[in-house]
Chain A
Amino acid sequence: MLEIRFHGRGGQGAKTASQLLAVAFLDAGRYPQAFPEYGPERSGAPMMAYTRIDEQPIRLHAAIIAPDVVVVLDPALIREQNVTEGLDSQGLLIVNTGRSDPTISLSDVEGSVLMVPADEIAQKAGAKHANTVMVGVLAALLGEPSVDQLVTAVDEVMALLPESARDHNRKSVQAGYTYGVSALRVLDDTREERRVQSGLQSSSAAVAVEGTPFARPGAMIRPDDYPVPLTGGWRMGKKPAVHLDRCVNCLLCWQFCPDGAVIIQGNMFLGFDYDFCKGCEICDAVCPTQAVHMVSETTKVGAWGELKEVPTS
């Protein structure tokens, strides 16, 4: 049995990817199974989806805890979840370098690792999400299902989408497949090093991949027993920043921020907590003096998002 675990965020299409792969495998004459596992189903929240493939009917219906392959649709998840949990030295980890974060380290991974610039590939194909690219890559690495079977599966799984969206996804699954075929050569050549990279410098740094702390089953949970999950990874490329000269300490941004990501002290506004800010832009919308600006994630800002100059745009 082949077990594949997809890690994504609600809205990134991990569930669709798991189904697409299963449908294509069905076409290839296998017995597939696919289902998602959500915590709260929210766009942006970490979630998992599973695909199992076998030559006989699958009786097992549990979550996949010892996967053969792990597919990560968003590299920022590596900070939030133990994505490699249960993956052994025979395993394969495929990561979308997407909105890549150079501080993410995969140096502890035992199996093979392939980094795929899937956002870029999807964008070229006109697709909204990287999920179908990643399925294409995976199929190429596995040698099955064929690209034709994948394309047919796109039509079936995305039957309710407009034809243009299906077309983009057919293209992105094909582009992913092509990428996978070329990566396979490199992967074979470097089997010894067990590592293929493209784009992301995975050895460069410092963040260890840590597991979720194990809870006492059934016990009462006190507020500080476990560190709460960071939700800063939910942002979609923009963060709030503040021009403090303009701030009149009205605290409206604090009042309406859903994520408690506005830092105040006494009655003073101090700035933003990027560990938790989900980038909803409410602070920008409610600020009466336009002290808040949404800036690109890569814009350099001072402590807690202080802007020295007001952006002109």
Chain B
Amino acid sequence: MANIKEMASHSQQNPRFGSGHSLCRGCGIPSIVRTVLSSIPGPVAVINATSCLEVATTRYPFTVWKVPWIHVAFENSAAVASGVEAAYHALRARGELSEAMTLVVFAGDGGTYDIGLQALSGALERGQRFIYVCYDNEAYMNTGIQRSSATPFGASTTTSPAGRAAMGKPEPRKNIVEIVASHRIPYVAQAAMSHWQDLSNKVQRAYHAEGPAFINVLSACPPGWGHEPRDAVLVVRLAVDSRYWPLVEVIEGRWRLTYQPAPRIPVVKWLALQGRFRHLFQAGQEESLEKIQAIIDDEWQRVKKRDEESASWFASEEAGLWDRVPSLPESWEPRLGEPMWEHFRKDSKHSNGRVSL
């Protein structure tokens, strides 16, 4: 697994994402993008949904991307990635492309949980091979902080404002990891910008997956969350340590926690750092705070139970395969008609240059 020094040398040898973008002061996105791209060996192409990342990195005629990059629209990045994959196979078949490459999708929570969900679901069901990274800043930030289905209960946004009639968003957030895991794809994970080593490990496992891989990464957004830019890393770290944001992965349908926060930190510590929850600290809002803690505790119990259920599998040799040092796949052919992790298993026995048991 790549450590920070390896990522540093990777990104010096293969710069993939440069400076000069106009993401906000203190934005959490660039660190996610750099970590993801410097954890992948070999050539990469990026598919980007409309979002802060897309808009702020490609102000015509400039680009900060040093890898092939394509943007089409807000709602269809998984479909675009499917098309790029088809083009990749066509070029390989015609002998016009000699190198194998990894396709990485970057999309926001709006572009993933909401408007891009059907394109994503379709591509997952088809077994399209890419690493889909949702950077989750819990709202539509590019257009000025509107609520999305990733916005947590109680957060104030411009379309779920805190005021006399309501106390921020009345609905809890959607669990995208469960939704994606229901597609039975080989690899699903949830990570956080603060925990770069965990994120890098997950990207490398996603790279192994012979089929779609999905990683939901908590970002930070100083203007949207209402905190100082300098606190960006702290805020995300507290989201993890308060158990609001469990770091999990789902390999071949088995769930596990990849990080055990200890000791237990009450979620109010995390909430109190952010302007979007300020209204919950008024007198009379105790119930909302309790509800948020209850949602988190409930979720944690569920994750914990799944983690325990799959502990023996994760101790097995089969699971150990996912921790190999990745090497570039020599062949990467589309496979149709079988559950994806069957392919993975088959490959691990055949050793097509990637795996040796």
Contact = CB atoms under 8 A, between A and B. Distances in A.
Interface string A223-267: 101111111001000000000000000111011111111001111
Contact of A281 (B28, B56, B229): B229
B35 A255 contact: yes
A281 B18 contact: no
B314 interface: no
B4 A255 contact: yes
A99 to B, nearest CB: 15
A230 B59 CA distance: 13
Interface string B1-45: 000110111001000011111111111111100110000000000
Interface string A280-292: 1110111000000
Nearest to B231: A285
Given A41-B144, A225-B61, A231 B233 contact: no
Contacts of A45: 22, 56
Contacts of A308: none
Nearest to A216: B61
A40 B233 contact: no
Contact of B30 (A221, A252, A260): A260
B55 to A, nearest CB: 4
Contact of B18 (A252, A254, A260): A260
A251 B5 contact: yes
Which of under 10, 10 to 19, 20 to 34, or 35 or more describes the interface residues of B? 35 or more
Interface in B51-88: 52, 55-56, 59-66
- Which residue of A227, A234, A255, A275 has the most chain B CB atoms within 10 A of its CB atom? A255
Nearest to A273: B19
A229 to B, nearest CB: 5
Interface of B: 4-5, 7-9, 12, 17-31, 34-35, 52, 55-56, 59-66, 142, 144, 196, 223, 228-234
Given A258-B25, A280-B229, 7 more contacts: A40-B56, A223-B63, A228-B62, A229-B59, A229-B62, A259-B19, A280-B230
11 contacts: A40-B23, A212-B61, A215-B61, A221-B63, A225-B61, A229-B22, A252-B4, A254-B8, A257-B31, A258-B23, A276-B20
Interface of A: 39-45, 212-213, 215-216, 221, 223, 225-231, 234, 250-252, 254-261, 264-267, 273, 275-276, 278-282, 284-286
